Amino acid sequence: MAGRSVGRCARGMGASVALIQALLGTASGVAAEPIRNGFDLAEADVPASEIHAGGPPRDGIPALDQPETGPADSSGEAAWADDVVVLGFEWGGEARAYPLPILDHHELVNDTLGGRPVLISWCPLCGTGMVFDRRVAGVERHFGVSGLLYQSDVLMYDRETESLWSQISSRAITGMSRGNELTLLRSRMESWGAWRQRHPGTTVLSRRTGHRRDYGRSPYRGYSTSSRLMFPVPSDDRYHPKMPTLGLRIPDTTARGYPAAELVRAGGYVEEELAGEKVRIRYDDVAQVFDVVASERVEVVEGFWFAWAAFHPDASLFRVAPEAGRSGPQPDRPAGRGRVQQGTLAIPAVTNSYSHESEPTSPHPGESGDR
């Protein structure tokens, strides 16, 4: 009996010591093994300490696979208000809209459009909607949400190799696919009414996703106008962190950012050359939509200023010279209104008057346990 008691004591002490060591390791920022959500980060292309668990486990935010869609003129469950923002994509004579109220809850859609296997991706924290070809070296991949973030941006993973992929950099940062890149395809973010008018024959992602979600409620309401970020990101305070920003990049060549405030100062239209490629940019500050005319060599990324700056710290920046009588660039903040009135992320507007309203008082998404 005494021996068993001593043994139990020793095992208990050992467990306590192990717990204390683990706590000390965590407090000092040293992790025993760089494994998070089941992903091995030991050989990641970015520091493992900068990859954060967003809250949900792997697939806790369920990606959609070949989901149900419906025609634009459907009634009932498929009907959306005209002011709801959609991520639109067109290929092979087919057009499809993916409403942000649905993407807020799923983030990734493995779909096929015009015969092309595509990945529809949306990161609510960075405001980035990006569409990729799902094929890597000619082999089709299927993607899920890892529950991990890098620079506050969603890390996707492919189910075939379990490699982690950075959405904004379009590149695998861990696993067998590390170093491979996804082909970024041109897409468009605008209101459902505008997209439907542009593409009368469009289809739209259905609410019948097979998951019980309230697509009329966004867990991110108020986030896009707040200056607060939910995860550590290098700071660049030249603009409000959620300033809508258009990024243009030519892989392995150059990148350039166009904050909405600067495009407004330029009169809403810019024409210039980027590494020998002619680009034309329009920004409608009422509809809050970027239009880009450029060759397919130019990649287009639309999102929040902080996200563009974090992933492209060396990119050049389009800026308009200060007007006479101004001492320098004016501080830019969202005006507190959004292009979506209900059920989705409210992307902040920029007005010609540069009004600086107070930050919204709505709860931060993180405070309610939502990512």
Q: How much is the pLDDT for 76? A: 52
Q: How much is the pLDDT for 356? A: 25
State how beta strands 85-91 and 116-123 pair: unpaired
| Domain stop point among 176, 205, 234 | 205
71 and 188 together in one domain: yes
How far apart, in whole angstroms, are the C-alpha atoms of residue 99 and residue 191? Answer: 9
Q: How much is the pLDDT for 116? A: 98
199 and 67 together in one domain: yes
Would 164 be classed as within a structural domain? yes
How far apart, in whole angstroms, are the C-alpha atoms of residue 201 and residue 70? Answer: 11
| Domain stop point among 205, 237, 259 | 205
Splitting the chain (371 residues) into consecutive groups of 10 residues, what average pLDDT does each group show?
43 40 40 82 96 96 96 70 96 97 98 97 98 97 98 98 98 98 98 96 95 92 94 94 98 96 97 97 95 97 98 97 49 37 34 28 35 40
Would 282 be classed as within a structural domain? yes
| Domain stop point among 175, 205, 235 | 205
The domain containing residue 329 runs over which residues?
223-361
Looking at the 3D structure of the chain, how many domains does it have? 2
* Model pTM score: 0.81
Q: How much is the pLDDT for 358? A: 29
User: Which three-class secondary structure state does DSSP give residue 197?
Assistant: helix
Structure tokens at 221: 């309401």
Q: How much is the pLDDT for 322? A: 75
170 and 241 together in one domain: no
Q: Which residues fall within 8 angstroms of residue 142, CB to CB, at 6 or more apart? A: 65, 110, 134, 158, 159, 160
178 and 227 together in one domain: no
Q: How much is the pLDDT for 79? A: 81
Q: How much is the pLDDT for 200? A: 94
Would 37 be classed as within a structural domain? no
